[in-house]
Amino acid sequence: MPTNIKVEIVTPEKTVVSEEAQIVMSPGILGEFGVLCSHTPFLTTLKTGTVRYIDANGKERIVFISSGFAEALPDRVTILAESAERRRDIDVKRAKAALERAEKRLSGKEESDIDFTRAKAALDRALHRIKIASSVT
Ligand code: ATP
């Protein structure tokens, strides 16, 4: 029986996840990384993407996060994200509408004064949400 680690995913609005996990995989800025109990402490920046963890019952859980930070300590991982939703809470219709808006902006056909970095970040969030919501595990 593996020893569990506490995983917390927190946004400025709320705590999205607070539970025990066997392993936590996160989208680090330099690539995906996993944290098990007794891991060496570290702090890292996260990209928009997917956090996966295996809960105490052995079930895989999938959560969308929009960029942030992770702090790993020997007994816990804390993820601070700009936004986060468990897979079941993702509103696909809303994500598709956000994708359409971002694509329109990036096409350059609509407005003349476009913040491309912001539009690309919105596109990235929408694509990840759609991908996560339609993933089968
Ligand atoms: P939108 O343009 O639809 O608001 P966004 O990517 O700009 O999308 P965020 O800034 O990442 O949205 O999030 C704002 C709030 O809305 C957060 O609480 C986030 O969890 C929630 N949210 C955004 N999009 C979705 C979605 N498709 N499903 C569920 N919650 C969402």
CA dist., res. 133 & res. 118, Å (int): 23
Q: What pLDDT is recorded for position 37?
A: 84
Ligand 1 is surrounded, with C-beta below 6 A, by 13, 66, 83, 85, 89-91, 94-95, 98, 122, 125, 129
The tokens for 80 are 């601070």
pTM, entire model: 0.93
Q: Which regions of the chain carry the CATH code 1.20.5.440? A: 91-134
Amino acid 111: pLDDT: 67
Distance from C-alpha of 122 to C-alpha of 101, rounded to nearest angstrom = 9
Minimum CA distance residue for ligand 1 atom 16: 83
pLDDT the model gives residue 109:
76
CATH 3.30.200.20 is held by the domain 91-134:
no
Kind plus residue range of the DSSP H or E element containing 133: helix 116-133
pLDDT, tens only, 20-64: 999 999 999 999 999 988 888 999 999 999 999 999 999 999 999
How distant, in Å, are the alpha carbons of 16, 72, 98, 117, 122 from that of 113? Answer: 35, 41, 18, 12, 16
From the CB of residue 75, how many other CB atoms can be counted at a distance below 10 Å?
12
Write out the residue limits of the CATH 2.60.15.10 domain(s) in the chain. 5-87
Give per-residue burial for 23-62: e unless 16+ CB within 10 Å, then b: bbbbbeeeeebebbbebeeeeeebbbbbbbbbeeeeeebb
Tokens 């020997």 locate to: 74
Q: What CATH superfamily is the domain 5-87?
A: F0F1 ATP synthase delta/epsilon subunit, N-terminal (2.60.15.10)
CA of 66 to the centre of ligand 1 (A): 9
Task: Identify the pLDDT of residue 39.
Answer: 82
